[in-house]
Amino acid sequence: MTLQIKRLASWREVPVGGAITQPGNSVNRPTGDWRVFKPIINQDKCVRCYLCWVYCPEPAIKIIDRPYKTSSGREWKMTFEVDYDYCKGCGICVEECPVKAIDFVEEVK
């Protein structure tokens, strides 16, 4: 048995039946350092269709209440951003984006 396992809670201390009794505790576990590739949203190309937000399994696509004006003059009331604290770099958003507005670039650590 490793020392690390010895330090964990005993059978008396863990909740009966393996229930997880603190809801939403995944925010305490950032998974951003799992990435090899990093999605970057091209705000100029993005058509605000929400598909990346729908498909992200984490979910690590944030909806930001910030207007944006594209180079061609189109005005959006909001912006999508990747939450890099939690994005695991799975690339699903890149695959699903209908206008190819998400670039997938190698993470430089």
Bin 105: left if φ > 0, else alpha if -120 < ψ < 50, else beta.
Answer: beta
> Segment contacting another protein (CB under 8 A): 4-12, 32-40, 45-53, 86-94?
4-12
Distance CA 104, CA 85 (A): 17
**Block residue for tokens 């190698």:** 106
Closest to another protein by CB, 8 vs 105, is 8
- What is the per-residue binding string for another protein in 10-49, x denoting contact by CB under 8 A? xx--x-xxxxxx-xx-------------------------
Closest to another protein by CB, 14 vs 47, is 14
Q: Determine if 8 is a binding residue for another protein (CB under 8 A).
A: yes
Cα dihedral 57, 61, 62, 68 in deg (nearest 10)? -150
Q: What letter represents residue 94's amino acid?
A: V
Distance CA 41, CA 38 (A): 10
> Segment contacting another protein (CB under 8 A): 1-9, 27-35, 61-69, 77-85?
1-9
Helix (H, G, I), strand (E, B) or coil at 52: helix
Closest to another protein by CB, 5 vs 105, is 5
Binding site for another protein (CB under 8 A): 4-5, 8-11, 14, 16-21, 23-24
